Amino acid sequence: MEKAHVFRLEDIIVLAKEEKDINASVDLIKKIVTPTVNPEETEDTKSSGDMYLLLGEFNFKVAGKVRKVLKSYAFGTFAQSKDSMAQNIRLANERLKIDYQRFRNAHIMFEEKYF
Protein backbone atom coordinates (compact mmCIF):
# COMPACT_ATOMS: atom_id res chain seq x y z
CA MET A 1 0.00 0.00 0.00
CA GLU A 2 1.41 3.37 -1.03
CA LYS A 3 1.68 5.98 1.69
CA ALA A 4 0.13 9.36 0.89
CA HIS A 5 2.55 12.29 0.93
CA VAL A 6 1.77 15.01 3.45
CA PHE A 7 2.45 18.43 1.98
CA ARG A 8 3.59 21.45 3.94
CA LEU A 9 3.64 25.08 2.83
CA GLU A 10 7.43 24.78 2.52
CA ASP A 11 7.02 21.95 -0.01
CA ILE A 12 4.77 24.09 -2.20
CA ILE A 13 7.11 27.10 -1.97
CA VAL A 14 10.04 24.91 -3.08
CA LEU A 15 8.01 23.76 -6.10
CA ALA A 16 7.17 27.37 -6.95
CA LYS A 17 10.83 28.36 -6.74
CA GLU A 18 11.55 25.56 -9.24
CA GLU A 19 9.44 27.70 -11.61
CA LYS A 20 6.34 25.56 -11.35
CA ASP A 21 3.15 27.50 -12.09
CA ILE A 22 1.11 27.39 -8.88
CA ASN A 23 -2.23 28.92 -7.96
CA ALA A 24 -3.52 28.92 -4.40
CA SER A 25 -6.76 29.44 -2.54
CA VAL A 26 -7.39 29.40 1.19
CA ASP A 27 -10.43 28.71 3.31
CA LEU A 28 -10.23 29.99 6.87
CA ILE A 29 -11.87 27.74 9.43
CA LYS A 30 -12.79 28.27 13.07
CA LYS A 31 -13.16 24.73 14.39
CA ILE A 32 -14.74 23.95 17.77
CA VAL A 33 -13.10 21.05 19.60
CA THR A 34 -14.53 19.34 22.67
CA PRO A 35 -11.90 17.48 24.70
CA THR A 36 -12.70 13.90 25.56
CA VAL A 37 -13.26 12.98 29.20
CA ASN A 38 -10.36 11.43 31.06
CA PRO A 39 -11.56 9.08 33.84
CA GLU A 40 -8.53 10.01 35.96
CA GLU A 41 -9.35 13.71 35.76
CA THR A 42 -9.95 15.58 39.01
CA GLU A 43 -11.52 18.98 39.59
CA ASP A 44 -8.00 20.48 39.65
CA THR A 45 -6.94 18.93 36.34
CA LYS A 46 -10.27 19.14 34.50
CA SER A 47 -10.05 20.85 31.11
CA SER A 48 -11.68 24.21 30.73
CA GLY A 49 -14.25 23.08 28.17
CA ASP A 50 -14.53 23.63 24.45
CA MET A 51 -11.57 24.92 22.51
CA TYR A 52 -11.38 26.66 19.16
CA LEU A 53 -8.76 26.28 16.44
CA LEU A 54 -8.10 28.93 13.79
CA LEU A 55 -7.06 26.97 10.70
CA GLY A 56 -6.08 27.76 7.15
CA GLU A 57 -6.98 25.12 4.58
CA PHE A 58 -4.87 25.79 1.50
CA ASN A 59 -5.55 24.32 -1.91
CA PHE A 60 -2.67 24.53 -4.38
CA LYS A 61 -2.98 23.65 -8.05
CA VAL A 62 0.38 22.28 -9.19
CA ALA A 63 0.76 20.81 -12.68
CA GLY A 64 -2.95 20.07 -12.87
CA LYS A 65 -3.05 18.34 -9.47
CA VAL A 66 -4.57 19.78 -6.31
CA ARG A 67 -2.46 19.62 -3.16
CA LYS A 68 -4.05 20.39 0.21
CA VAL A 69 -2.29 21.81 3.24
CA LEU A 70 -3.95 22.40 6.62
CA LYS A 71 -2.18 24.78 8.98
CA SER A 72 -3.11 25.89 12.49
CA TYR A 73 -2.64 29.61 13.13
CA ALA A 74 -3.94 29.93 16.70
CA PHE A 75 -6.05 28.20 19.35
CA GLY A 76 -7.73 29.00 22.63
CA THR A 77 -10.56 28.09 24.96
CA PHE A 78 -13.94 29.69 25.38
CA ALA A 79 -13.20 30.01 29.09
CA GLN A 80 -10.69 32.74 28.20
CA SER A 81 -11.76 36.36 27.95
CA LYS A 82 -13.04 37.93 24.74
CA ASP A 83 -9.84 40.00 24.75
CA SER A 84 -7.82 36.76 24.61
CA MET A 85 -9.84 35.57 21.62
CA ALA A 86 -9.35 38.91 19.88
CA GLN A 87 -5.62 38.70 20.58
CA ASN A 88 -5.52 35.16 19.13
CA ILE A 89 -7.31 36.37 15.99
CA ARG A 90 -4.77 39.20 15.60
CA LEU A 91 -1.94 36.69 16.09
CA ALA A 92 -3.43 34.32 13.49
CA ASN A 93 -3.76 37.19 11.00
CA GLU A 94 -0.14 38.25 11.56
CA ARG A 95 0.97 34.66 10.94
CA LEU A 96 -1.13 34.58 7.76
CA LYS A 97 0.57 37.80 6.58
CA ILE A 98 3.96 36.10 6.97
CA ASP A 99 2.84 33.11 4.89
CA TYR A 100 1.26 35.40 2.28
CA GLN A 101 4.57 37.25 1.96
CA ARG A 102 6.32 33.90 1.45
CA PHE A 103 3.82 33.11 -1.34
CA ARG A 104 4.43 36.48 -3.02
CA ASN A 105 8.20 35.94 -2.84
CA ALA A 106 7.72 32.54 -4.54
CA HIS A 107 5.36 34.03 -7.19
CA ILE A 108 2.38 31.96 -6.06
CA MET A 109 -0.91 33.51 -7.16
CA PHE A 110 -3.55 33.80 -4.39
CA GLU A 111 -6.20 36.01 -2.76
CA GLU A 112 -5.52 37.16 0.79
CA LYS A 113 -8.14 36.32 3.41
CA TYR A 114 -8.10 37.00 7.13
CA PHE A 115 -9.95 35.80 10.22
Burial of 73 (0-12, 13-18, 19+ CB in 10 A): buried
Q: List pLDDT tens digits, range 6-41.
A: 789 999 999 998 888 899 999 999 999 987 766 666
Q: List pLDDT tens digits, range 41-69.
A: 666 556 568 999 999 999 999 888 999 99
What pLDDT is stored for residue 44 in this prediction? 58
Domains, the chain, in order of start with CATH, read 9-36+48-105 (2.60.510)
C-alpha neighbours within 13 Å on the C-beta side of residue 86: 3
Residues 23, 16: Cα–Cα separation, whole Å: 10
The CA-atom distances, in angstroms, between 3 and each of 6, 54 are 9, 28
What phi and psi, each to the nearest 5 degrees, are found at residue 31?
-100, 130
Residues 91, 97: Cα–Cα separation, whole Å: 10
Q: List pLDDT tens digits, range 73-108.
A: 999 998 889 999 999 999 999 999 999 999 999 999
Residues 21, 87: Cα–Cα separation, whole Å: 36
What pLDDT is stored for residue 99 in this prediction? 97
Residues 94, 89: Cα–Cα separation, whole Å: 9
